[in-house]
Amino acid sequence: MSLTNKNVVFVAGLGCIGLDTSKELLKRNLKNLVILDRIDNPDAIAELKAINPKVTVTFFPYDVTAPLAETAKLLKCIFSQFKTVDILINGAGILDDHQIERTIAVNYTGLVNTTTAILDFWDKRKCGPGGIICNIGSVTGFNAIYQVPVYSGSKAAVVNFTSSLAKLAPITGVTAYTVNPGITKTTLVQKFNSWLDVEPKVAEKLLEHPTQTTQQCAKNFVKAIELNKNGALWKLDLGTLEP
């Protein structure tokens, strides 16, 4: 699938993997890249705009833990401004098993809410045009890091939710797949807490394993989007892309 002239909404498009993926997306001559993120970063937005002046980059402040009604209100504003959205990328995530409720809210509930909200505009049962959802999971979604069961469980939920969305495509007209990064050099893995402190040095032990850079991950992230395979469970690890 060509991304030329597509409108893409990217939740957490200024994060570690998110920012480098946004940069890769801009090389594909999108029509609009709409970034939703909790913290405004004017320097990052300016950097993105400079990459490809042909693409309009727009920022909206958005906390993924917002109630469904607020998410729906924001999407209504986006659809009103841009008329169509082709792809939704759900990319928000945290890794800290001390923050149980927030981990589930950011990694899973928020993703479900943005998906639910956009279905109101895309669902073909409501005469919508359909659409594409790309959800960022993690290899822990199918191969848990047992010291962080809350994080791993939230990512497993993303994988299963997305698989269900893909199977509902004949009904809704909305296709979906997950991209699942392996260990990537981001701020998430520099320092984090294990559940109930079962492993005080979990971050250090994780980084003993081979890692990939955010740039490597981003390149394969966009390749997965271009492949656009409904129901795919992509593994992005050590600079490779494989099902």
Let me know: does 15 contact 217? Beta carbons within 8 Å. no
Q: Say how far apart CA 161 and CA 14 lie, in whole Å.
A: 24
- B/e letters for 37-63, b = 16+ CB within 10 Å, e = fewer, are bbeeeeebbeebeebbeebebebbebe
Active-site residue numbers?
151
Let me know: does 179 contact 232? Beta carbons within 8 Å. no
DSSP-assigned letter for residue 106: I
DSSP-assigned letter for residue 239: T
Q: 175 by DSSP, 3-state: which?
A: strand
DSSP-assigned letter for residue 2: -
Q: How far is CA 176 from CA 53, 168, 181, 219, 223, in A?
A: 29, 9, 17, 19, 15
